[in-house]
Amino acid sequence: RFMAETASILNPHKTVLLPEPSAGCALAEMATAEQVRRKREEAPSDTAVVCYVNSTAQVKAEADVCCTSANAVEVVEALPQRHILFVPDRNLGSYVAEKTGKDIIPWDGYCYVHDPNVSTSAVGELKRLHPHADVMVHPECNAAVRRHADFVGSTSQMLRYAAESDNQEFIVGTEEGFVHPLHERNPRKQFYSTGSVCSSMRLITLGSIRHALDRMTNVVEVPEDIRERATGALERMLSL
Ligand code: SF4
């Protein structure tokens, strides 16, 4: 849902369909606008609110700036503030803290697909079976898993890493479906998934897409006041 909302926020004159209305995001649902407002009030006065795009439109509307997993470090580094309220993913927040040295005020949200389902034991078992494989994990994985990795990055960064690496084998710590584009772009290389599945993503099927297109149903609507404020946070990300 958050991707459909973001597409709608940035393209207010276009029709955006969400093929399966119940396809939400467990991580996005771990922060509400009210909680963010309260936490901002409690934070030091020079605090910026940085919102991962895997969040609701209402939470984006409370943020000073949005970020993706690919640009979170650069976005936080570019901000003048020392204190950062980073919502809603605690692991991406701790990864950004490690990389930037800034004071990240933690938010206790997490994506179960990456934490705990990409675990040190799952990665360790694959490494035992494929000792020469490089381990690539997403920064939504917890710090213990990240420490086992040869590479930590977003899906676009993992695609680039796999393509540019001389290695022929990779252990992949993110949603299982991501091994398909990796295979497509690197047909001679081997990719071993930790087998972590997002049940929400799996709700979107070819059938549900066709159904939504045939009937033009399940149009995503973002209230105008929310859209305007969320656009500001998204545009600030693009300008940094
Ligand atoms: S994998 Fe699923 S639960 Fe996790 S952030 Fe993505 S959509 Fe949300």
13-44 pLDDT tens trace: 999 999 999 999 999 999 999 999 999 999 99
* ipTM of this complex prediction, to 2 decimal places: 0.99
Whether 51 and 63 have beta carbons less than 8 Å apart is answered as yes
Q: Which atom of ligand 1 is nearest to the CA of 89?
A: 5
| Average pLDDT value over all residues in the chain | 97
Asked if residue 198 has its Cβ within 6 Å of ligand 1, the reply is: yes
Residue with tokens 């040295």: 101
Q: Which atom of ligand 1 is nearest to the CA of 199?
A: 2
| Most ligand 1 atoms within 8 A of CB, residue of 3, 54, 112, 204 to mutate | 54
Whether 144 and 122 have beta carbons less than 8 Å apart is answered as no
Q: Inform me whether the pLDDT recorded for 122 exceeds 90.
A: yes
Mean per-residue pLDDT, 1-11: 96
Residue 92: alpha-carbon gap to chain centroid: 8
Q: Which atom of ligand 1 is nearest to the CA of 111?
A: 4
Instruction: Identify whether residues 10 and 96 lie together within a single domain.
Output: yes
Nearest to 158, CA basis, from 125, 141, 181, 142: 181
Examine residue 188 and state whether it is found in any structural domain, yes or no. Answer: yes
Q: What is the C-alpha to C-alpha distance for residues 212 and 18, in angstroms, rounded to an integer?
A: 8
| Most ligand 1 atoms within 8 A of CB, residue of 2, 25, 29 to mutate | 25
Provide the pLDDT for residue 129: 98
Mean per-residue pLDDT, 134-162: 98
Reading phi first (left if > 0) and then psi (alpha if -120 to 50, else beta), residue 172 is in beta
Examine residue 214 and state whether it is found in any structural domain, yes or no. Answer: no
Residue 236: alpha-carbon gap to chain centroid: 18
Instruction: Identify whether residues 179 and 142 lie together within a single domain.
Output: yes
Residue 29: alpha-carbon gap to chain centroid: 13
Determine the structural domain holding residue 87 and report its residue range.
2-110+220-239
Examine residue 80 and state whether it is found in any structural domain, yes or no. Answer: yes
Residue pLDDT, tens place only, 215-230: 999 999 999 999 999 9
Examine residue 230 and state whether it is found in any structural domain, yes or no. Answer: yes
Instruction: Identify whether residues 186 and 230 lie together within a single domain.
Output: no
Q: What is the DSSP letter of 205?
A: -
Provide the pLDDT for residue 27: 98
Q: What is the C-alpha to C-alpha distance for residues 224 and 205, in angstroms, rounded to an integer?
A: 30
Examine residue 213 and state whether it is found in any structural domain, yes or no. Answer: no
Instruction: Identify whether residues 11 and 92 lie together within a single domain.
Output: yes
Q: Which strand (E) or helix (H) includes residue 67?
A: strand 65-67
Nearest to 82, CA basis, from 101, 108, 67: 101
Q: Inform me whether the pLDDT recorded for 139 exceeds 90.
A: yes
Per-residue confidence at 151, pLDDT binned at 50, 70, 90? Answer: very high
Instruction: Identify whether residues 8 and 89 lie together within a single domain.
Output: yes
Whether 75 and 100 have beta carbons less than 8 Å apart is answered as no
Instruction: Identify whether residues 147 and 91 lie together within a single domain.
Output: no
Instruction: Identify whether residues 94 and 22 lie together within a single domain.
Output: yes
Residues whose CB falls within 8 Å of the CB of residue 82, separated by 6 or more in sequence, listed in order: 46, 102, 103
Examine residue 204 and state whether it is found in any structural domain, yes or no. Answer: no
How big, in percent rounded to 5, are the helix, strand and coil portions of the chain? 45, 15, 40
User: Ligand 1 centre from 82 Cα, in Å?
Assistant: 29
Instruction: Identify whether residues 102 and 156 lie together within a single domain.
Output: no
CB atoms within 10 A of CB 127: 17
Mean per-residue pLDDT, 90-106: 97
Structural domains in the chain (count):
2
Residue pLDDT, tens place only, 61-72: 999 999 999 999
Mean per-residue pLDDT, 42-58: 97
Q: Inform me whether the pLDDT recorded for 240 exceeds 90.
A: no
What is the share, in percent, of the chain residues with pLDDT greater than 70?
A: 100
Instruction: Identify whether residues 6 and 55 lie together within a single domain.
Output: yes
CB atoms within 10 A of CB 112: 14
Whether 9 and 227 have beta carbons less than 8 Å apart is answered as yes
Examine residue 184 and state whether it is found in any structural domain, yes or no. Answer: yes
Instruction: Identify whether residues 153 and 179 lie together within a single domain.
Output: yes
Provide the pLDDT for residue 106: 87
Instruction: Identify whether residues 28 and 80 lie together within a single domain.
Output: yes
The b-or-e profile of 185-201 (16+ CB within 10 A means b, else e) is ebeebbbbbbebebebe
Per-residue confidence at 173, pLDDT binned at 50, 70, 90? Answer: very high
